[in-house]
Structure 1
Amino acid sequence: MKMKLEGFISFLCAIPLIWGTPVHQKNTCGYASCPQTKSDRINVHIIPHSHNDVGWVLTENQYFTGVGATISVDNIITSVVQALKRSPKRKFTQVETAFFWQWWRKQSEKSKNEYKNLVETGQIEIANGGFTMNDEACVHYQSTIDQFTRGLRILNDTLGPCGAPRVGWQIDPFGHSREQALIFRQLGFDGAFFARLDFNDRLKRIEEKRLDFLWKSSPNFNDSEIFYAILKNHYGSPTGFCFDITCRDQPVNDDPGSFDYNADQVRSLFIKVLEDFEPHLTTNNILIPMGGDFNYESAEEQYLNIDRLLKLFANDGKYNVFYSTPSCYLKSVNNASPKLSVKTDDILPYADNEHAYWSGYFTSRPTIKRFERTANKILQANKQLRSVFKILSSNTTADTDPHLDTLRDSVAVMQHHDAITGTESQAVTYNYVDMMNAGIRSAEESIGLIIGTLLSKSQEKFDQLAFASCLLSNISICENSSKDRFLVAVYNPLSKAVSHPVALPVQNASYSVIGDDGEEIAAVDVLDAISDFGYVDSNDGEVSPKELVFAAEDVPPMGLKLYYVTKKGGNNQTQPPEEFEEIAVDEDLVFGTKDLNFVLDAKTNRLKSATMNGLTLNITQDFYYYPAAVGVINFVASGAYLFRPESSTKNAKNITDDNPVLERQYRGNFVEEAHIRINDWVKQIIRVYKGSGNNFIEFDWLVGPIEVPDSYLTGKEIINRFTVSGLNNSGVFYTDSNGRETMRRRRNERVDYEYDPTVEPISSNYYPVTARIALRDEEKQLEVAVFNDRSQGGSSLHDGELELMVHRRLLVDDNRGVSEALDEYEFRQPLVVRGKHYLMFGSTKEKNNSFAAVQRDFQSRMHLSPYTLVADATADNLKYETLKSLLNFKTQFISKALPDNVNILTLERWRDEEDTFLLRLEHLLEKDEDDNLSKEVTVDLNSIFGDYKVEDINETTLGANVWMEDYLNRDNKFKWNTQGNETINSEMERSAKVKPDGKVTLLPMEIRTFIVKITKTK
């Protein structure tokens, strides 16, 4: 059963969409609107487009409105619409839905209908369709899917079927991931286009006619190949053919009687542009972008000159030049049946010359990278809680979803390739932070009502709980947990029960924590904070000197637990030594248990060895820094985009050689930890948690303000390096691809082209690490992995070593556009960054319950760790007995945990008037990671929500904008031929349809998306 029609559709295009019932009328958009090509000519596809960053040097709003800017995206879209109305042959490619959405909401009905008509006649093609043109290195796959879902939903609701993109348009991200290609494949796209890749790779592809190729987007699926095309000369107009008001190229004058007549010269110059393409063509099609950054504010001027250019070739015997779109180019290439090369790895890191590797942005602006992860976790939890509230609440008229829109949109904007990358200006960074903070606070306005309703023992809603996240807990500030009595809500967004440490800033006192069973929890510690944070402004809140840590045990799948915390009075009984007093130790110190521990060397206070999973390794951990190049040699400096050490021949400088000081050590009920001061601006806590399920060592580090020399402008790039004695990984290491599939890397190696690793041996071997980096010793059957809490650059520059870059302070700009040095300040001083790394190692011998499966489980638990909120319980006499009489302290919203290899990736309200929900299920393992868990698995949707039945189950493509049935039955199913004489189908291998009884099968790594209705059965 499809959804009700919600609006009038004048013409339907190739694919009927979710928002309306399919109506079979004449197709006028998409491939049906493509110009006729000529088999005996070289077909020149002119692609008008404007690349509009959703924040970069200026904020998103400044770019849109033009306030404080010299351009306005509002004017660009309006100008394009007016220009397209003047000629039906003109076309335009629209990409960023965030800007379209701002424009659309302020238009009259007449203006909206004009835009829709241009889309329905194929003059405007929507490419990508995501809220932003997302980055591909620093993003997590969940957030990428979400931002596409947001953008595609808007396009469905505003433009209808013809607004559905068929191609990706990733022309500006600084490198490209294989996971992004897989996401495009699962969105139902037929291909994608991009511009940036390593200069060596570009030159070789041009020479070998491989600018068009097939990308095998996953080793886990058959027929996962997707067509990709590389823009030969970047994404701007050819030299001499930029007619925008911001350009200086001369307009085309085709009046022979005019003194300024230049048509012959223009034609000759354009022929030279085309002749430059000809030796490198895969087919008889050339793609020429006409546009650039924030072009087409005076669209008529652009189009008039392109019109005149096209007229110059109207009767040409060699070139057929016409307005086109990316999808029309794809269709023309497919019609020519070329044999294409197949790519299997990714396109990272990107370099624009032999000294300029864009691997610095993997780490740039580390605090906003972490804040984005926090905001995403809060977004996912709130989407789930609001869904459950809608399903279970007797008051179905209560609507809390609008509170999510600010957060939903701010997290979507953060995926932009000049947002999460850290390549925006400082002012824009502040704006992004403000947007996410406002989104979180807006989402949490109604969270007390939701939690109170879900936990209430009666039909009465208990809405006295003013819950809020402790967003400043990383600098030991949390207003609610500084009270004498407070309530902690722990929500687990995963589909299996988890145990997780809760850490909250508190006063210097002893505390009682009461759990859901009414008993006081024994595993509670009150420990010193990592720093006194004396530099923090008092108006941001009161810094607490201590940290309360306790175990939230067995939080149910998609479930809530409450904990009641009271101050017992008096100071904390476990007093540390005096601050900065070095602890004299004669013997090595062991922290932890027999099965899980780490050892500090008595002489150096450095990590010496560790034990877990039945293994003991000699492993050290040190902080180093690379002195940053300032551009004196080869004019290439380290900056927001680029990572370039001062010397390519010298090793990083070991900060830990400054004689670390063991300041404190604790052996508590739940935690054992060592506080180590490396130097005046680097310190860390190495920590283990007692109890079952904890099989990792945590490194809680604080870096900054980074000291830099008073002269020479030499910045520092700080890394955390782990070294395992005797481990031989033969130059191979592994990183995740956007938190999903695993990428095999080999030091100093590129698959598709040759490069000289001796020129920049460090930065050329840096890769994005979104979640995990690992080494594997095949002979010893040993794997060592380090997990991080945000995107960072990482590598293995020598066997047995792993390193992750944690912070960068740079004093010169790298001249890649942002025009600012990456020298962040906060609280009137250079930026201080706090973060965590998690060390795990184990044997690869076991194939059932393998170490790979253990890592997958840990990775998901860290990415979506429990959502913790705190409420002041001193007001309104909210004592434990009172709350216990009103509330259940524990509940869960799915009837049982899903299989270990399955997770609910998305649960959110879809259309309230139909009581529908968006549900995504994901298989968590790759096909060869575990003999048991890496198999296909079947889930009964009707067993998930207990007394609530999942019905009207309709599967969609990944973006929830196209019915899967309609996608599979669409016109224009493409087949591609490879150079290996294989034929590739346009559909990727997928599991069987949903069975009538609601059972769903998932293949390894598969994500399936459904629109469902959930109703009560009892």
Structure 2
Amino acid sequence: MDHIQHHACLLSLAVLSCLFMTIEGDACGYKACTDTKDGILNVHLVPHTHDDVGWLKTVDQYFYGANNSIYHASVQYILDSTILTLNQNPSRKFIYAEVAFFKRWWAEQSATMKAKVKNLVNQGRLEFAGGGWSQNDEAATHYVAIIDNMAYGLQFLHENFGTCGRPHIAWQIDVFGHSKEQAALFAKMGMDAAFFARIEDVDHDLRRVEKKLEGVWHGSQSLGSRGDLFFGIFYDHYSPPPGFCFDAFCDDPVIQDDPDLFDYNVDDRVSEFLEFAKKAANAFQTNHIMMTMGGDFEYENANEWFKNLDKLIKYVNQKEESTKVHALYSTPACYLYALNQANKTWTTKDDDFMPIGEPNSYWTGFYTSRPALKLYAREASKILQTCKQLGALSGVDVNSAFLKDAVSIVQHHDAITGTEKQHVADDYAKRLAMGIQQCQISLSDVISKLMLKTKTAPAPKLEFCNYLNISVCATTQSTDAFSVTAYNTLACEVRDYVRIPVNGTQFTVMGPGNKNIQYQVMEVTSETKRVRRDKGSTTHELIFPITIPSVGFSSYLVTAQTTKQRSKGDGSVPAIHKAENSNDVTIKNDNLMLLFDGGTGLLKSMTNIPDNLTLEVQQSFYWYNSSEGSNPYQFRPLGVKAIPLLNKNVNLTYIQGNIVEEVHQQFTPWLSQVIRLHKDQKHAEFEWTVGPVPDKSGLGMEIITRFETPLKSDKLFYTDANGRQMIQRRRNHRDTYPLPMINLVAANYFPVNSRIYIKDDEAQLTVLTDRSQGGSSLVDGALELMIHRRLLHNSGGGLNEALNETGQYGDGLIVRGKHYVILEKPGKSAKVHRPLGLQVFAKPTLLFSHLVPDWRSKYYTKYSYLNTSLPINGHLLTLEQWGQDKNNVLLRLEHPFEVNEDQTLSKAIKVSLKKLLASVFEISDVQEMTLDGNLPISQSTRLQWNTKTEGQFKEDLRYKTTSYGKQADVTLGPMDIQTFLLSVKPRKP
């Protein structure tokens, strides 16, 4: 630094510029890695802290260090202490993962402190790992929320630290199982590897022996090498080696190195370290191993950690000539780079790491735990997509920041999983509610202004009804005239049905174009009245079809009729029939027919009418008796068979109407089901209501629905990975290790995020879910899904409380949900369940308003932002303003079909971005980005690996040199998601 720069640094106003001068030319990432030694064992010491974004305490309690009577932890002090201590020794390194916490801490720092942190990042001494807002779960999470969680965190790092803040590796160290789809998503984000600790014990032990703790993971058959990701599994856990924890609350002996003082122990400590290092090295292929030096909420006193690590490195390296062991400060990225430079040939993996656990306690219960929170998180994610999309299209600043934070926090592996304490689950739900409310206010404002035909008309007051599932809506139940406006985020026309709470039976329903819409009115069921209790008092539900254009809205005007106004044929109030004389009951539409046994009241068969395909299907409910060891993570049923909930014939009534036909089943006083067939739809809707779950055994009950058929499924069934690709499962089998024949019910449960199916050569039965659930096929021809669980025994799992959700009224949580059931021939099923899966997630957003005079002259009743739609195998996944510049829009397009899944729809499609958005934007520039949206794909260079089966892994470079042409034409292959940063100029509406 020259004389002028030195004096500039003395000026307080120039402190920041001085700090940035010192980092110019410094390297980060792989360039910042410390040199290693050839021919000897290199032990990469990785100082880290694992900070759960809520678990035993809420996220804010963990940050501040509040409520320490539960658990002593304070993230703000961890970061304060670590940053201070890093600056005391230039060889020290540290990694941090949870951006939700880091952002909170960053917001409180001075400009001087921020500059110091940036200096550490640019020198590669503070490295971010993973980079998601939270360290998301991989089993109960939907891919849309995973992408948002990662994009939100990486966007913060990009905006504040640039390229040096971008992680090279995914850091999923505490997650309860690992998904193929997650691996593919990380690969699409430009990650080079994922490191984690938790896999099934039998698998882990075998991989140690066979030196397969590291390898190349084929994340997607459809994506090829673009979905491949290197993986690394820790030798033991993400904690330090036994005896080498130097945190303030650890009891391990510190290193005492003054020979003139008592208790000198350097030789003993070095010997213990070398013994563990050499033992661990036997499980790995190279002369490099990684030791994670840290754990849950450690480094609150970082000086104690680093002071002992400094000594450990010093004294180990003093003996390296004789011991052939070299220790160094490192990071996961630097460890990975050393593996890459070793030029080894690696084994590959094609399946996933699901489930995890030891043979007697598989971690498969959390796939269903806290089912209400799981649905709420899914709905919040859908609302967030709507909010972001309308913000980008309208150019209005929508208030989505709080919801982004809440949705991403809830993807954490102790949130969406249901493995947190009850008060933490309540905090998650509160955050979602606050974020949804803020977002809905913005949505109401944007859509109401979009509806205006003239500037002189007052904007309609649009309101949301968040309790429609229990027939509660203040707007519709308090007036005789109201509007229903449905907004559709999908880039294709959507046809659906709405059920609106009303007090009355005769209405006029007018759709866009002043068309008279046929409707049906039904009484609110006694079961709905039982569930909603004092929340509402509407007597009926109004049901009618809606058609919504792509990325747009349709409004329907509803008016109660007087006696003179009543017209024939437009609406009906069907009678409720009870099954009598053991006669079978049939409900049907043009596509499906369902036959119910008049004696038992259970489903007997399903018929696909166009294909003349009939399948015997019996569906009912059962329960597993929980064991004393069950907890929110685990599924440990007593016995191997589920117990029927139906001790006698089910109470069955049925309704045959002009819009929907229904069967109502009452299994127990606390469990009921409605099975619906809407006109023209190709699926049956099974809506179940469960709870409060009673105490039958003193331990708990885990409730399942089971479908039994004669399908010759040959031990095979199929479950989705995070709502996208399907994974073939074989009962009592694992691809890479022998499955112990213990607790086989739980061992055969897998996460079902959106669908599960069984099939043979003749037929396929597919069940789609509205939230994450555990599912399986325990016998050929049958599939089951766990829909609710209530555990009454305090079984540990670190929580010190039972999974006993008491609900708002204190007597137990009541859950209402839906399954969507499809019967098709195997080769035709994807054509139905893929589009339906998108529509289940992105159901239309409904807004309501009191009708005002001359509504049609003042307001548009139909509008689409697009002048062209995407084909059935194209999906507009994301559209949002990106960064601070309103002229930057992030667009994600998805091909939702897998390779070879459908003869026609699995083919690549071409989309013209300019044509697609022509009515909204004038696009001046198109830049393809990594999936997270924060790095141009042309700048993403991933490490290459040699594999035993494929030779050298080379990244597909075609997408880095794409010329988009005048129309910005892009091509999407099966299962691809392409992300684009568009420079746009909004067109006047």
With normalisation by structure 1, the TM-score equals 0.91
Instruction: Report the secondary structure of 1:250's partner residue.
Output: coil
Pairing of 1:597-612 with structure 2 (within 5 A):
597-612=593-608
Q: What's the CA shift for 1:234? A: 0.6
Superposed displacement of residue 938, structure 1: 1.0
1:737 aligns with 2:727: no
Deviations 1:71-109 (A, max 9, x none): 210111111100101011111111000000111111111
Distance 1:95 1:764 in 2: 31
Match of 2:814 in 1: 832
Superposition pairs for residues 995-1014 of structure 1, below 5 Å?
A: 995-997=964-966, 998-1014=968-984
1:461, 1:193 → 2: CA distance?
Answer: 58
Which stretch shows the higher mean deviation, 511-520 or 65-74? 511-520
Q: Distance in 2 between matches of 1:506 and 1:240?
A: 67
* Alignment equivalent of 1:727, drawn from 695, 708, 711: 711
Instruction: Summarize the alignment of residues 439-588 of structure 1 with structure 2, pairs less than 5 Å apart.
Output: 439-460=435-456, 462-468=458-464, 470-484=465-479, 485-529=481-525, 531-534=527-530, 536=532, 538=534, 541-553=535-547, 555-568=548-561, 574=573, 583-588=579-584
Task: Specify whether residues 842 and 12 from structure 1 end up closer, same or farther in structure 2 by C-alpha distance, changes over 3 A only.
Answer: farther
Alignment equivalent of 2:241, drawn from 232, 238, 246: 238
In 2: Cα distance, 1:514 partner to 1:9 partner: 68
Shift of 1:146: 0.7
Question: Is 1:659 matched up with 2:649?
Answer: yes
Task: Say if 1:357 and 1:644, in contact at 8 Å, map to a contact too.
Answer: yes
CA RMSD after TM alignment = 2.1
SS in 2 for 1:544: coil
Match of 2:691 in 1: 704
- Go from structure 1 to structure 2 and tell me whether the alpha carbon gap of 1:9 and 1:585 turns closer, same or farther (over 3 Å shift): farther
CA drift at 1:221: 2.3
Alpha-carbon distance between aligned partners in 2 of 1:829 and 1:355, rounded to the nearest angstrom? 31
Find the residue that maps to 1:117 and give its secondary structure.
helix
CA-CA distance at 1:976 after TM superposition: 1.1
**Match for 2:776 among 792, 795, 798?**
795
The one-letter amino acid paired with 2:790 is R
Structure 1 pair 1017–109 and aligned structure 2 pair: CA distance change class (3 A): closer
Partner of 1:961: 934
* Larger deviation, residues 499-508 vs 426-435: 499-508
Matched-pair contact (CA < 8 Å) for 1:12–1:28: no
Structure 1 equivalent of residue 943 of structure 2: 974
Is the Cα–Cα contact under 8 Å of residues 620 and 705 in structure 2 kept in the other structure? yes
CA distance in 2, matches of 1:989, 1:207: 39
Equivalent runs, 1:81-120 vs 2, <5 Å: 81-120=83-122
CA contact (8 A) 1:823 1:830 kept: yes
Contact 1:527-1:547 at 8 Å conserved across structures: yes
What is the distance in 1 between the residues matched to 2:362 and 2:387? 39
Q: Give me the whole-angstrom Cα distance separating, in 2, the residues matched to 1:487 and 1:750.
A: 54
Q: Give, in whole Å, the separation in 2 of the partners of 1:77 and 1:775.
A: 50
* Alignment deviations for residues 473-516 of structure 1 (CA, whole Å, 9 cap, x no partner): 22332222222232211011111101011122333543332211
Asked whether the 8 Å contact 1:11–1:120 carries over to 2, the reply is: no
Cα distance in 1 between the residues matched to 2:830 and 2:572: 42
Shift of 1:990: 4.5
Partner of 1:64: 63
SS in 2 for 1:39: coil
CA distance in 1, matches of 2:884, 2:674: 47
Distance 1:218 1:332, change over 3 A: same
Distance 1:569 1:723, change over 3 A: farther
| Superposition deviation, residue 25 in structure 1 | 6.8
Determine helix, strand or coil for the equivalent of 1:658.
coil
Name 2:6's counterpart in structure 1.
none
The equivalent of 1:843 in structure 2 is 825
Q: Is 1:747 matched with 2:746?
A: no
**Runs of at least 5 residues in structure 1 that lack an aligned partner in the other structure:** 1-6, 14-23, 391-398, 631-636
Equivalent residue number for residue 11 of structure 2: none
Aligned-pair CA distance for 1:950: 2.3
Alpha-carbon distance in 2 for matches of 1:741, 1:956? 22
Over 3 Å counting, the alpha-carbon distance change for 1:214 and 1:813 in structure 2 is farther
Of 248, 252, 274 in structure 1, the residue corresponding to residue 251 of structure 2 is: 248
Cα distance in 2 for residues equivalent to 1:25 and 1:461: 58
Q: 1:673 to 1:158 in 2, by over 3 A?
A: same
Shift of 1:888: 0.7
Identity %: 37
Matches within 5 A, 1:406-445: 406-445=402-441
**Between Structure 1 and Structure 2, how many residues are aligned?**
954
Q: Contact 1:473–1:504 at 8 Å: present in 2 too?
A: yes
Rounded to whole Å, the distance in 2 between the matches of 1:677 and 1:930 is 39
Cα contact 1:448–1:463 (8 A) shared by 2: no
* Alignment match, 1:766: 749
For 1:854, the aligned partner's letter is V
- Do the aligned residues in 1 keep the contact of 2:760 with 2:826 (CA within 8 Å)? no
- Does the 8 Å CA contact 1:211/1:229 hold for their aligned counterparts? yes
1:108 to 1:25, Cα distance in 2 relative to 1, 3 A: closer
Paired residue type of 2:403: L
Measure how far apart 1:154 and its partner are.
Answer: 0.7
Pair 772,660 (structure 1): closer, same or farther in 2 beyond 3 Å:
same
Post-superposition Cα deviations, 1:810-842, rounded to whole Å, max 9, x if no partner, equal 112342222221111111211111000111011
- Of the three residues 325, 328, 352, the one matched with 1:346 is 352
Which of 289, 293, 316 is residue 290 of structure 1 equivalent to? 293
Cα offset for 1:532?
4.1
Corresponding residue to 2:846 among 851, 863, 868 = 868
Q: Distance in 1 between matches of 2:224 and 2:79?
A: 40
> In structure 2, what is the Cα distance between the partners aligned to 1:690 and 1:741?
30
CA contact (8 A) 1:642 1:814 kept: no
Alignment equivalent of 2:701, drawn from 701, 716, 732: 716
The correspondence of residues 23-42 of structure 1 with structure 2, limited to 5 A, is 26-42=25-41
Deviation at 1:582, TM superposition (A): 5.9
Corresponding position: 1:645 with 2:651: no
SS of 1:622's partner is strand
Distance across 1 between alignment mates of 2:409 and 2:537: 31
1:916 is matched with which residue? 888
CA deviations over 1:660-679 (Å, ceiling 9, x no partner): 101x3221221110111011
Residues 171-217 of structure 1 show CA distances to partners (whole Å, capped at 9, x for unaligned) of: 00100000110011000011110000000000000000111111011
Equivalent position SS for 2:79:
helix
Structure 2: how far apart are the matches of 1:196 and 1:362? 16
Residue 327 (structure 1) aligned to one of 322, 333, 352 = 333
Distance 1:434 1:12, change over 3 A: farther
Which amino acid letter does the alignment assign opposite residue 735 of structure 2?
V
Question: How far, CA to CA, are the matches of 1:929 and 1:741 in structure 2?
Answer: 10
2:784 and 2:911 mapped to 1: Cα distance? 39
Aligned letter for 2:834?
R
Residue 931 of structure 1, CA deviation: 2.1
Aligned CA distance change for structure 1 residues 681 and 268 (closer, same or farther; 3 Å): same
Matched residue, 1:370:
375
1:990 and 1:343, CA in 2 relative to 1: closer, same or farther beyond 3 A?
Answer: farther
Q: 1:393 — aligned with what?
A: none
**Offset, 1:566:** 2.7
